[in-house]
Structure 1
Amino acid sequence: MGRSISVVIPLCDEFDSGVALLSHRDVEVVPADNRSVAAVLAAMRKATGRWIVVVDGVAQPGDLAVRLARLGESRDVDLVIASRTGETNAKNALAKLVFPRRLGQPVDPTSGFFAVRRDAVDLDRIRPGGFRVLMELLVRHPRLRMAEVAYHKSSDRRGGVLGVVRRGLVFAGHLVRLRTSLLAQQATRSARASVRGWLLRAFAFGLIGLSGLVVNTAVLWLLHLEVLQVHYLIAATLATEVSTAWLFVLTETLLYRKDKPGTVRSRGVRFFLLNHFALAVRLPLLALLVDGMHVDVLIANALTLALLFLVRFVVADSAIYGKGEPACDEPPREPIRVLVDLDHEIPVPRNGNRPTETARYLPYRYAVPGLATIGSQVELPELDYFRSQWLGHDTEIQVRVGVVGDRRPLPRAVFTQSAQGLGYREHLGRLGANFRVRLGDPITVVVSAALARSPHVVYTNILEALLRFVAVSRGAMLLHSACVELHGVGVLISARTDTGKTGTVLRLVREHKAKFLSDDMTILYPDGRVGCFPKPLTISHHTLRAVRSHELSPKEWRRLRLQSRLHSKEGREFALLLSQLNLPIMGVNAFTQRIVPPPKYAVDRLLPCEIVPESKISDLFVIARGELGSGELAEDEATATLLENTEDAYQFPPFRQLAPSIVIGEDDHLVLRDKERAILESALSRIRARWLSTADFSWADRIPVLVDEGATAKGWA
């Protein structure tokens, strides 16, 4: 039976102490005959561990070799690179110049010290005549999910000047061979067909776009200059509505006629979202051209449409009509760079003599029973139920607004994990949606001004993820589920996002007099108790059927129809697809939420109800859409389903990078996840779990019947 980690070390005297340090129980040391790629590759093939750590040119790897593999396991990535710092590496600069996409993301693509997940790579792709195994891995496997660890090492000067020159020539020859090999692969018929097809689609998209430009200009001319003479920005907005519908019909019927992903509605929602996001970018530019530079309205409108053509095509071709199968030469799926330096803290930016954070006063204070006290300079509407102005300023979690990020723009978003916390910086420097977190006592979250203007993003993308693991440290679980008290017993309702959970809860409260505890997140304890977490309800498009017309004003209804479309399942999936591109996705999300706020309403704003602070759970229903049916869920199956549904609620970036960086006390992410599972398993051992499937959103009609049947039964079936 193989060990969990295999460490490949070339046989040199300088590694003897490193070998001794690596003699751990779960570590297998695999010697390589020498430092050549062929020898290292042969040793990697002999390795039996789930993770292979290559230690080449590192005198004292020590425990860092093991930590690389452990870090990769905890962060759920494929590759962890020990990136050398403290030196100017000409090889890296040249490698990035030759392979700007494949080698552009890591700081040190020529490092000889890295850990790779064994089943994530095909070692047969690597050529034994290369210069560095890592460079071959990155070029041959461009979609590896990676993290980087800062590794302080001086420059390699072995062999004097002649040795440096010799290694430089070998490296240059390797780059030439690697680039030639890759070009040969890309020049095959299938690759040529792929490139030719992309260019043909772009040309056809351009022709369709020209017809849309004619429609857009004609509507703008009629509304602004000829018939109604409305303001040109209003006319441009209405013209976009008409031309978007025109373009979608032509794109669907003429350009992408076969093998389209999803449904017509889902593609239509994404197409309209794309064009309206482009509209939000166009309108300020249009105003600048017309009012600032006195360009004719029709010409300025055409210019702004033309400028955004390529962006619209790339997004439409990949995120709306793409089949989800990446080409072999695409950049990594996750464009966020992850840097780990466990020996140093994240540097706090200085702004001259001015403080980087605003005053200490925290005007918004919240107390979530059993979880944490929170003080914030940003109002958090999701926690409004827990508003506790009587709290002092010494809260356990503090959210502040300050200077976060680099002075200069970045080529891609960067997530940093340090000894004391974590940070996230986006492309726009200090103007971006950035934040940093210090995991101390108290936990301090500092958000940039741009992010602070979108409180929903601050809570959902940062604070709720922290609360989830703080809850685990307090012996509770923040479970993604709804909870009501029905006929005197607590009932949990779990489902994947946008299934119909909110509508079910509204109907149970209105029609069956259920008492409300939560709609989205529930505090669950090991003994089967639950605490309420009454966040405002998000009214997505399919939830509209559960809201009565008299419960909202006509203005709210009109606004809700747009909001519910944008914040629907289709809108969320579109945003997740965009997050795979090298975009300042958190900034885009924050900007979108400011322009079109999510349709959130407190439950007692929609209907009369009683909110109870705590209950004892007797039943769990996992609801889904499909053929009518129900049945018992085994405890292990219920556990897996609830954990999966909880993870489904935390998909938007940068949660994937944030969660593995959270350390509460002595517990890292892996320990916290184990404790979370233990809490859930203990609670489920006291609960009757069932699945319930319907095709007509009628869960609210069937759950009370099943609860009553269970209450009258002599025992659990």
Structure 2
Amino acid sequence: MLADFGLSDDDAVPPTDGTAALPFLLTVLVPTRNEEGNIGPLLDRLDAAVAGISAEIVVVDDSDDATPKIVAEHAVASAVPLRLICRPEGERRGGLGSAVVEGARIARGSWVLVLDADLQHPPEAAVAMATSAIRHDVDVVIGTRYAGAGSAEAGLAGAHRTWASSMATRLAKTLFPRRLATVTDPMSGLFAFRAKAIDLNRLDPIGFKILLDILVRHPSARVAEAAYQMERRHTGTSKASMREGFAFLRLLGRLRRQRLVGQLREGPATGAQRLRQLGRMIAFGLVGLTGLAVNSVALWALHSVAGMHHLLAAAVATQASTLWNFALIETLVYRTKTDGRWHSRGARFLMMNNLLLAARLPVLQLLVWAGLGLLVANAATLVALFLVRFLFSDRVIYGAARTRRDPVRLLIDDGPAQPAAASAQKRSSYLKYRYDVAGAVTIGSQILLPELEFFRAQWIADDKVDIAVRVGDVGLRRLRKRASLTEHRSPAALRYEEHFGRFGANFQVELGQPINIVVGPLLARSPHVVYTNIIEALLRFVLVSRGRMLLHSACVSFGDTGVMLSALTDTGKTATVLRLLRDHDGRFLSDDMTVISADGTAVCFPKPLTISSHTLRAVKANELTAKEWRRLQLQSRLHSKGGRSLALTLSRFNLPIMGINALTQMLVPPPKYNVDRLVPCRMGSSTRVSELYIIERGKPGMHDLDRETTLKRMIENTDDAYGFPPFRYLAPGLTIDGLGYAELRAKEREILKGFLAGVRTQVISSDCFGWADVIAPLVTPPPATPAVPRQPTAADVWPRWGARMVEPELGEAT
């Protein structure tokens, strides 16, 4: 029975097309059973917690007491829409888990927050957890008692409940090591999920542990955790019992059995995959033949020489051949297909062979009784089970995970971040290098930042910078199983740690005034990674808070015409800029990023250019030595689209990707050159852009683009430039000048919209890198037109951002 207080029946039906906007941002789902002493205080606190949020409350009740009556009375005075589902005695199969599924089916929120009714899950912390999750690019957020500032001491009264909870967690993580890899508390009853990301029809819950069912059946769901402190029950006693314990074990058994059957059924989908499987089967069989020889020799020695009973000898011989087979299979057959840890695979391989041993020993005895020789009978039982061993090994033990958890563990923590210790080499807090970016943001750093050398401004006081970059020891000394990003909310800070403890590519960002960045010693030796992966991401949003945007684009000017180029990364934008400068005497403002304002002005951002392999054809650098040219050939290939694609692919695995990136940059520095070393050109400081060209590869052609589509494309191109980790984990946690991530993105969009108001946009496609040939005639005067001397303008003046610097006369422009 559904009671919908103060709402029409039409409102009770959620959209079914999967695309329509839902009426609420958040549905708070509370399953209840005999909670008459708790439900009133819970609903009062929930009303206050969701104030200012577009939210509804759904109560799914299995009670035999006055709980539904109290909910109905509360709904009369509540400002929050509240619905009640009362399930009769015969419809409560599945317990709390099925109640959650039934409530989720009628939820009208984009997100569904599940919490218990006994007030062990503080409503304020639960709603804060859900609102934090909405900012992040995740599908499920879990309230954890076992990470960060989380605690279960008050909620799990008694040592036996604490022990039972710990053992249940360990058992679940042992049975599902991949699917629970980033989760510390899979038994939690406090969690939120994105409604469209969870297929409720997949779920078949038993008992309390609905979250475990969700996580196991949705392996590709992106997961984050939020630390919370579990409280004592408000009134009443816990519903935990021996019966619920057996229900949990049945759930584990069902999930593991269904997963095993699914793995065995996941056969190759294409002809090429079937051929590769056949090759693995042949190799597996050849290894099996050597194992058969080892097993037979061991059986003969134990039975005929040592006098051991033939069944016991067969069991011991199986252990020897299992170890032999595993060593060869691991190193020869599946050396490029392994996933997880070798000892985990070894344990499963040993378990498989011993289970099969239990099945074949009775058959072996029957064959011996039938008069067959022991060695022949043993070989026959081993050969008969060959296909079973291969399929189990190929699809279960060594089966490539088609979907995997995100490699970075994301934790939202209310506790403060640990202070980063200054390293022995950098104990001073003095900022040796200082920069003024377009007069809008000042940066001080203990390490040289080559990308910002154009903006060097040593006159800025050490304590007046907006962003400070220092070197220190970030993170714990012990090794980690995977990278993690922790978002601390009070005070606001972000902490990223990789696998190798303090020796890894770790950093910490304290979001105060100023913003303090501490990078580990490894990152300090790779300033390009520090700038590109950390500083530029922060600079982008600090500029937004100051009314500017750091737009992924190139900018040149021809006379009074400002021309901007945009493209996805590694399309050919740099080569096009170089050709325009080399052949048509333009002024260079930027190649990778441009600082823009809503009034249509673009300000120079002349970072050194990165020369990829397809850009070499546009370089005309007589100043480069023969050694530099040879080095450039290697560097341009490594740091081209192929190298970037490889790095992005690796970032999807559980690898210390920032550390790998930093070491790569140290061994083979990126091919970065100032533009005037590559082609003869002049520099410009600012221009008013009137022409925007979006270049792409494809069939040659050109067409106009409307402003709304242009706005979307420019945002997409800019986001593409920030695709490398850890940006997508870092950015949603940012709060700058009181603006959160969503507000900063909205303001960035408004700045870009204003900038594009006076700009004409055209899309140019080429299949031969010929964009410069199309653009040049559109923006440069015809060759026959005599050159007309013009007076220097403000765009020609070399920029001086510091207030203490004296502006040069226009005639002094370079």
TM-score range, shorter-chain basis? Answer: 0.7 to 0.9
Aligned length: 601
Alignment of 1:289-328 (within 5 A): none
Determine whether 1:30 maps to 2:70.
no
* Counterpart contact for 1:373–1:396, Cα < 8 Å: yes
Q: List alignment gaps of at least 5 residues for structure 1.
A: 208-305, 316-325, 713-717
Instruction: State the partner residue of 1:235.
Output: none
User: AA paired with 1:77?
Assistant: V
Instruction: State the partner residue of 1:8.
Output: 29
User: AA paired with 1:377?
Assistant: Q
1:704 deviates by 2.7
**Aligned with residue 78 of structure 1, among 107, 118, 139:** 139
**Aligned with residue 169 of structure 1, among 246, 253, 258:** 246
The TM-score, its normalising length taken from structure 1, stands at 0.78
* Counterpart contact for 2:143–2:191, Cα < 8 Å: yes
Instruction: State the partner residue of 1:127.
Output: 204
* Counterpart contact for 2:144–2:227, Cα < 8 Å: yes
Give the distance between the partners of 1:637 and 1:433, measured in 2 at CA.
38
User: AA paired with 1:177?
Assistant: R
Instruction: State the partner residue of 1:180.
Output: 257
Instruction: State the partner residue of 1:53.
Output: 113
* Counterpart contact for 2:280–2:333, Cα < 8 Å: no
Give the distance between the partners of 1:497 and 1:130, measured in 2 at CA.
50
**Aligned with residue 476 of structure 2, among 406, 411, 420:** 406
Determine whether 1:372 maps to 2:441.
yes
Give the distance between the partners of 1:164 and 1:62, measured in 2 at CA.
25
Determine whether 1:659 maps to 2:728.
no
Give the distance between the partners of 2:243 and 2:504, measured in 1 at CA.
44
1:18 deviates by 3.2
**Aligned with residue 628 of structure 1, among 671, 679, 700:** 700
Instruction: State the partner residue of 2:128.
Output: 67
Instruction: State the partner residue of 1:560.
Output: 632
Deviations 1:240-269 (A, max 9, x none): xxxxxxxxxxxxxxxxxxxxxxxxxxxxxx
1:182 deviates by 1.7
Distance 1:52 1:198, change over 3 A: farther
Deviations 1:258-308 (A, max 9, x none): xxxxxxxxxxxxxxxxxxxxxxxxxxxxxxxxxxxxxxxxxxxxxxxx989
Instruction: State the partner residue of 1:581.
Output: 653
Deviations 1:419-448 (A, max 9, x none): 211010001111100000001111110000
1:393 deviates by 0.8
Determine whether 1:526 maps to 2:575.
no
Secondary structure of 2:580's counterpart equals: helix
Give the distance between the partners of 1:416 and 1:345, measured in 2 at CA.
10
Instruction: State the partner residue of 2:181.
Output: 104
1:62 deviates by 2.8
* Counterpart contact for 1:7–1:65, Cα < 8 Å: no
Instruction: State the partner residue of 2:504.
Output: 432
1:355 deviates by 7.6
Instruction: State the partner residue of 1:344.
Output: 415
Alignment of 1:274-293 (within 5 A): none
* Counterpart contact for 2:510–2:517, Cα < 8 Å: yes
* Counterpart contact for 2:421–2:472, Cα < 8 Å: no
Q: List alignment gaps of at least 5 residues for structure 2.
A: 1-10, 12-22, 63-94, 153-161, 286-329, 340-397, 786-814
Alignment of 1:101-250 (within 5 A): 101-154=178-231, 163-188=240-265, 190=267
Kindly, what percent of the aligned residue pairs are identical? 47
User: AA paired with 1:36?
Assistant: L
Determine whether 1:571 maps to 2:643.
yes
User: AA paired with 1:86?
Assistant: S
Determine whether 1:510 maps to 2:582.
yes
Instruction: State the partner residue of 1:233.
Output: none
Deviations 1:643-668 (A, max 9, x none): 00000000111111011111102100
1:200 deviates by 5.6
Distance 1:148 1:578, change over 3 A: same
Distance 1:601 1:113, change over 3 A: same
Instruction: State the partner residue of 1:362.
Output: 431
Give the distance between the partners of 1:107 and 1:10, measured in 2 at CA.
23
Distance 1:327 1:97, change over 3 A: closer
* Counterpart contact for 1:539–1:599, Cα < 8 Å: yes
Determine whether 1:595 maps to 2:667.
yes
* Counterpart contact for 2:125–2:228, Cα < 8 Å: no
Distance 1:536 1:313, change over 3 A: farther
Distance 1:519 1:197, change over 3 A: same
Instruction: State the partner residue of 2:746.
Output: 674
Secondary structure of 1:50's counterpart equals: strand
User: AA paired with 2:428?
Assistant: A
Instruction: State the partner residue of 1:418.
Output: 488
Distance 1:192 1:542, change over 3 A: closer
**Aligned with residue 442 of structure 1, among 514, 518, 527:** 514
Distance 1:377 1:310, change over 3 A: farther
Distance 1:58 1:506, change over 3 A: farther
**Aligned with residue 393 of structure 1, among 455, 458, 462:** 462
Distance 1:645 1:146, change over 3 A: same
Secondary structure of 1:190's counterpart equals: coil
Deviations 1:198-229 (A, max 9, x none): 7666689999xxxxxxxxxxxxxxxxxxxxxx
1:691 deviates by 1.0
Distance 1:156 1:100, change over 3 A: farther
User: AA paired with 1:392?
Assistant: A
1:511 deviates by 0.9
Deviations 1:557-587 (A, max 9, x none): 1111111111111111111110110001110
1:357 deviates by 6.1
Distance 1:533 1:312, change over 3 A: farther
Instruction: State the partner residue of 1:42.
Output: 102
Give the distance between the partners of 1:355 and 1:447, measured in 2 at CA.
14
Determine whether 1:487 maps to 2:559.
yes
Distance 1:163 1:670, change over 3 A: closer
Q: CA RMSD, aligned part only?
A: 3.1
* Counterpart contact for 1:109–1:135, Cα < 8 Å: yes
Distance 1:161 1:474, change over 3 A: closer
1:20 deviates by 3.4
Give the distance between the partners of 1:93 and 1:82, measured in 2 at CA.
17
Distance 1:177 1:159, change over 3 A: farther
The TM-score, its normalising length taken from structure 2, stands at 0.69
* Counterpart contact for 1:157–1:164, Cα < 8 Å: no
1:177 deviates by 2.2
* Counterpart contact for 1:102–1:331, Cα < 8 Å: no
User: AA paired with 2:473?
Assistant: V
Give the distance between the partners of 2:506 and 2:274, measured in 1 at CA.
39
Distance 1:572 1:66, change over 3 A: same
Secondary structure of 1:641's counterpart equals: helix
| Rg (Cα) greater in structure | 2
1:556 deviates by 1.1
